[in-house]
Amino acid sequence: MSDIENVDRILSGLAEVADIEAGRTAPARVFVPVDVDVKAIRGTLGLSQSAFAMMFGFSLGAVQDWEQRRRKPDPAARMLLRVIEREPAAVMRALADA
């Protein structure tokens, strides 16, 4: 993407913010799962923490922290974890091509 295209996207985003603030446009609705049970997802797949982390691109420390409730996955990780929970084969196929 060129610099001009990037500037156009930024300006478009700023115009959208102005429209939302002025009440002319409703903000987009974003769905983020409130909570996911990482240990249960991993257990369903029959994977060790290390294998789960490697397979799906997480750090081992993050998986351990999530399972022990020391940390909560960020919104993007929660979305990916929800997809892994429901369609693990699709995620594995997508990541195999990466």
**Tens-digit pLDDT profile for residues 37-58:** 999 999 999 999 999 999 999 9
Average pLDDT of span 8-16: 86
* C-beta separation of 53 from 46 below 8 A: no
Exposure string for 2-28, b = 16+ CB within 10 A, e = fewer: eeeeeeeeeeeeeeeeeeeeeeeeeee
Q: How far is CA 88 from CA 9, 20, 82, in A?
A: 34, 37, 9
* C-beta separation of 52 from 45 below 8 A: yes
Please state the CATH superfamily assignment of the domain spanning residues 38-96 in this structure. Answer: lambda repressor-like DNA-binding domains (1.10.260.40)
| pTM value surpassing 0.85 | no
* C-beta separation of 25 from 16 below 8 A: yes
